[in-house]
Structure 1
Amino acid sequence: MVYSHDGFGLGNIRRMLAICTHLLDSIPELSILVVSGSPMLHSFRLPKRLDYIKLPCLNRGTSGEFSAKYLGTAIDETVKLRSQLILSAIANFKPDVFLVDKKPYGIRNELQATIEYLKAQLPQTPLILLLRDILDHPDVTIPEWQKHGYYEAIAKFYDHVLVVGAPEIFDIRIEYKLPPKVAQKVQFCGYIRKEFGRKGPNFVRNELRLSPDEQLVLVTPGGGEDGYNLVDAYLSSLALLPASRKVRSMIIFGPEMPSRDQAALEWKAFSYPRVQICEFTDDLMSYIAAADAVVAMGGYNTVCEILSVGKPAVVVPRIKPSQEQWIRAEHLAKLGVVTAIHPDRLTPDVLLRSVLQTLNTPQPKISAPAINLNALPKISQYICTLLAEKRALPFCRTCQPPEQLQNLAIAKIV
């Protein structure tokens, strides 16, 4: 069973679905039940042997405060409803492994009752916390974890902490001052390699009617809820584009961009015949692979997509309600992997100069293979081993158990 933390954008559910899909491909007899409040879950292609329970949606504005997104109910009532749905699901589904995204107690502690039930009624079910590479600035994350008792929760309840990142880029054990009992549970899995899209680059470029001498810039603000400024700055930058440059632009707004913002940007885009726009695609990788350069926000999934195809990119991360995107972009920019622009410095002129420089030097200084992108097989190894320990399933055919767990697993099976 998988709990997908979600309160802003598409990042969490996209990441968790990528993990679930790889697990199902790796472990033939596995079934996965996802509990999530993502309003876009139904829009994705879901693999066989995966089903989901849709929780009432929550929304987290730029202030970081949660509220009910659609229901006219108070936040406490909505969280109570979500909490009871999760508890009922786990009591009836009785998972062999429970994978929790990001927050040890869930949003506003909605998982606490479920975790206590697991330990009392299903003590043989391992509890795994999955963390992305960076949560927020340490000055924010450390006090938040201390306030909510997350260090103690991990030490008491969780068997493993899997980090989809690399310690050489950001080591959460050091940055977030994890106590030794918590730090020893941490395993870095690398970043998530994204599979190539369903359409080849030549097919996409023909679909968009690009001529051979045109360069394609893909603009993607992720889910789009706070992507207006990035897209607006990019459209304004096209007025400064030299007439000699043959650049076509594909802008994907994201399904959560407000209708008013979409309408304003569509109106502005009418002035630029070489701009094509769409609201959403579930095959973003096809367009990233076809592009000569990408202009994007710095969300975890988008960065992984850029790294997976070694695509040159200009990243303009959000800095509210979290510094996570800027910290990631800054670290990758220092490695020469992307060009990063702080949103406070974002102007059409700055953006255009960065885009043209990126188009003129299309190969990143560090190729994607230089960064560990093996998170999915690594996670599958851990899940395979835990299931084998419980004799719920044999080791999957496509992976071997991690060395630190292999001896324990073999001993228990024998």
Structure 2
Amino acid sequence: MRLMVYSHDTFGLGNIRRMLAICKYLLDSIPDISIVLVSGSPVIHSFRLHPRLDYIKLPCIGRDQEGKLSAKYLRTSTEKTIRLRSELIKTTAVHFKPDLLLVDKKPYGLQNELKETLTYLNACKPETKLVLLLRDILDRSEVTISEWEKNQYYQAIEWFYDRILVVGMAEVFDVVKEYNFSQTIVKKVKFCGYIRRELGLKSGSTIRKELQIEPSEKLVLVTPGGGEDGYRLIDTYLQGFSSQTSHTRIKSLIVSGPEMPFSQKEALSRVAKNNPNFRICEFTDDIISYMEAADTIVSMAGYNTICEILSLSKRAVVVPRTQPVQEQLIRAQRMSSFGLFRFIHPESLTPENLLETVVEQLNRTSKHLLPLSCLDLDALPRIEQELSQLYFGNMAWKPSPMERKEEDLQHLILGSIN
């Protein structure tokens, strides 16, 4: 089985971490599978990759907090950078000849950079099965529907894709209803549940020993994910705990994230170094080991972080990002209403209420949440099952463009060119 994976990456670590977890599971579960991952993530080389996973690195596209895109490192226009990425993706498909293409989040890719590849596969290799992977929540319903209509994503799914795999639960957020999927699209949708995270490389006790945490002390892990917009959360946390003398038995490990601007990391380090209860580092590719060691976690509400918290059944205080999309805010609101963690809206965030909420969590008698029997965390085996079924031909044969009506084919080609 030859699987090509496209990872949409412009902001943070969420997409690449999710796709790497899927790739690892597939490589461990399916004999003789070959996977090539195509990604623009600027930190993909920092992760511990599966020894049988290879990747094509695309030029980086960055996105600011308002959502504006631009070339991150190259001194070229956004349009030229997207064109270069598009050519690299198509060239990979032409020569790798995938049996399946797994696309993350955007049916046509970032700035429609997948259009030529999809059109090529449909015309020249129609037996290739196309699968769209959607996280549990994209954005507010009206925003997502408007974007999908503008970019013709609904038509793209109807024309090109064989499956839509949603790594979430309809009980938390029903993308079918929220995003107004047609009946044609609904038939392709499979809710797979959330992604259970594997245990880390080290035990919690080993981590606590390395950090010199005494049995009588509490450990708080503070992590804003990639860190591009994590400064306020960490700064607020440091302000709250720096002024307290009554919480000397609380130690804090702060992982700022590799994408936090250097000046902000320096400012946080200056504050942290004056307090022996604070320890700060930039990045670890084994964050889940530190989560296991922690008594409470302070984080944003990114998909991967929340899955890790739930997989470990950990107590947490979550402060979601609200821009440029409200995915994290919706996730935090929905899941906190189920009692899965404590939620503070960023507009209400202060050093005082963050301190109070963290201490409240630390003082709970139970270290872990109650077993989450109602939460489905079996996305990975379901993804493997769906891809295997597609590969072994359990889905209906997808017709080639020559079998379609001439006017529909013309519309397809013109849409691709436009």
TM range (shorter): over 0.9
Question: Structure 1: how far apart are the matches of 2:111 and 2:191?
Answer: 26
Question: Structure 2: how far apart are the matches of 1:79 and 1:300?
Answer: 26
Aligned residue runs from structure 1 range 30-109, under 5 A: 30-109=33-112
Give the structure 2 partner of residue 299 of structure 1: 302
Amino acid at match of 1:378: R
Superposed displacement of residue 241, structure 1 = 3.4
Question: Structure 2: how far apart are the matches of 1:129 and 1:241?
Answer: 49
Deviations 1:173-226, CA, capped at 9 Å, x for gaps: 011111111122110000000001000011000000011100000000000010
For the pair 1:256 / 2:279, whether they are aligned, the reply is no
Aligned residue runs from structure 1 range 61-210, under 5 A: 61-210=64-213
For the pair 1:381 / 2:388, whether they are aligned, the reply is no
Aligned residue runs from structure 1 range 274-353, under 5 A: 274-353=277-356
Alpha carbons of structure 1 residues 112 and 352: separation in structure 2 relative to 1, 3 Å: same
Equivalent pair of 1:30/1:49 in contact (CA under 8 Å): no
Equivalent pair of 2:204/2:293 in contact (CA under 8 Å): yes
Question: Structure 2: how far apart are the matches of 1:58 and 1:366?
Answer: 41
Question: Structure 2: how far apart are the matches of 1:269 and 1:300?
Answer: 28
Question: Structure 1: how far apart are the matches of 2:69 and 2:271?
Answer: 32
Superposed displacement of residue 239, structure 1 = 3.0
Equivalent pair of 1:336/1:365 in contact (CA under 8 Å): no
Amino acid at match of 1:315: V
- Across the two proteins, how many residue pairs are aligned to each other? 393
Superposed displacement of residue 42, structure 1 = 0.9
Equivalent pair of 2:47/2:285 in contact (CA under 8 Å): yes
Equivalent pair of 2:129/2:391 in contact (CA under 8 Å): no
Identity fraction in percent: 54
Helix, strand or coil: the match of 1:368?
coil
Superposed displacement of residue 48, structure 1 = 2.5
Deviations 1:299-332, CA, capped at 9 Å, x for gaps: 0000000000000000001000010001000001
Scaled by the length of structure 1, the TM-score of the pair is 0.93
Amino acid at match of 2:352: D
Give the structure 1 partner of residue 220 of structure 2: 217
Deviations 1:108-145, CA, capped at 9 Å, x for gaps: 00000000001001100000000000000112101000
RMSD in angstroms over aligned alpha carbons? 1.3
Equivalent pair of 1:310/1:363 in contact (CA under 8 Å): no
Give the structure 2 partner of residue 394 of structure 1: none
For the pair 1:265 / 2:268, whether they are aligned, the reply is yes
Equivalent pair of 2:309/2:315 in contact (CA under 8 Å): yes
Superposed displacement of residue 49, structure 1 = 2.2
Superposed displacement of residue 384, structure 1 = 1.5
For the pair 1:356 / 2:364, whether they are aligned, the reply is no
Structure 1, unaligned runs of 5 or more: 390-404, 410-414
Superposed displacement of residue 365, structure 1 = 5.6
Question: Structure 1: how far apart are the matches of 2:274 and 2:143?
Answer: 43
Superposed displacement of residue 357, structure 1 = 1.1
Give the structure 2 partner of residue 398 of structure 1: none
Question: Structure 2: how far apart are the matches of 1:280 and 1:300?
Answer: 18
Question: Structure 2: how far apart are the matches of 1:369 and 1:254?
Answer: 32
Helix, strand or coil: the match of 1:386?
helix
Deviations 1:77-107, CA, capped at 9 Å, x for gaps: 0000000000000000000100000000000
Equivalent pair of 2:5/2:103 in contact (CA under 8 Å): yes
Helix, strand or coil: the match of 2:75?
coil
Equivalent pair of 2:320/2:329 in contact (CA under 8 Å): yes
Question: Structure 2: how far apart are the matches of 1:284 and 1:244?
Answer: 25
Equivalent pair of 1:336/1:366 in contact (CA under 8 Å): no
For the pair 1:367 / 2:367, whether they are aligned, the reply is no
Superposed displacement of residue 30, structure 1 = 0.2
Amino acid at match of 2:102: L
Helix, strand or coil: the match of 2:220?
strand
Equivalent pair of 2:295/2:367 in contact (CA under 8 Å): no
